[in-house]
Structures are given as structure tokens and as C-alpha cells.
Amino acid sequence: MIWWPSVVPTLQYGLITLRPSEEKDIENIYNACQDPLISHFTTVPANYTIEHAKAFVRERDPESLTERRELRFVIDYGTGSDKEFAGVISFHSLDFTNEVAEIGYWIAAPMRNKKIGATASRILTNFGFESMGWRRIEALVDHDNIASQKLLSSIGFNHEGLMRAKVIRGNGDVIDMDLYSVLSSEWSGLN
């Protein structure tokens, strides 16, 4: 059985903190989502506005938690007052019956290539198995997103195959996705 939190917890490992979104994140989320790579490789709209960011923090996050649709975290990098906004990570596409969750994330451009995404994914995966009780955690990655594929492989996710013509992008392009997963029985933890 899956345990679902009543509030988004704060999780920390090393210099990475996963925490609930706050009002102060609206501008950072908006600014980060101006990067065309984020909308290219995720479901974030290409014409992302400040209104999108406000709705994300003020409405979508609380509703998703209450309705058990998504458990979303802001990623911070650093310690104390030197923490910087680094991105967003979540469990979504939840299947409570089969105990399967999908992990998704995006990292702000200035924070890439610092292993922040890998550490955040490791933290959330560990929390998903050890605290929530997921049996399997999946990730769907745009076939052209080599960086994300490497990230998942580096933390123990297995490539299961190519899903042909899986997603239609906002511009109408039909794209292939790669399926990655890790099982609780094979997870090595935060080490």
C-alpha cells in the first residue's frame, strides 16, 4: 500500500534540498521556463508566462497533492542562506493499484552539469521506495534527450525500450520516448 503525505515534505542530501514550492519560487520558475530546452523536452508550454508560474505554485501544486495526482518539489542547491533555485522534480502518472510512479524533472540552465538532477532524482527515488512504498519507478525521456538518459542510467535506472510515436509535442511533432525504470528490489539507495 502506498503512503501519501498530507504535506510536501522537505528532503535533503548533501547540497541538494527538495522542498514544497513557495510564493518566492514564482519568479524563478518563470525565468527558468524561458529556456527553450525545458519546453522542448517536457510538457512545460513554450510560451510560459508569469501567470503559468503563479498557477503552478498557488493552484496546481496544492491541488495535485490533495487529489493525489502528483507530488512535486522545488530543488534547491547549496546550504543555508546560499541556497539557489535549481529546478523542479515530481512523482506523477501515478498507478496506486500497481504501485508504480513516474519521475519527472527539469533543471534550470545555470544549474546543469553539476549533478544536481542526478542527486535530486536519487533523493526522490529513495523517498519513493523507502517512505511511500512504490514498487516500481519509471521515467519517460524524449529520445533526443541524451543528457536525461545518461542521468537516469547513472543512478541505477534501466533502459527498457523505445516507445515509438509516444508523444505529440505542442508544435504537433510526434516523437519517440525511451522508457527507463528501477524496481524497489534492485534499488541501491542514496549511496
pLDDT tens column, 14-64:
999 999 999 999 999 999 999 999 988 888 888 999 999 999 999 999 999
Return d(Cα 157, Cα 153) in angstroms, integer: 5
CA 62 to chain centre: 16
pLDDT at 175 exceeding the cut of 90: yes
Which amino acid is it at 182?
V
Q: What is the pLDDT of residue 173?
A: 86
Q: What is the pLDDT of residue 72?
A: 97
11-137: CATH topology? Aminopeptidase (3.40.630)
Entry pTM: 0.95
| Contact predicate 72/90, CB 8 Å | yes
Return d(Cα 5, Cα 2) in angstroms, integer: 10
Where in the chain are the domains? 11-137
pLDDT at 81 exceeding the cut of 90: no
What angle is formed at CA 50 by the lines to CA 170 and CA 65, rounded to 5 degrees? Answer: 80
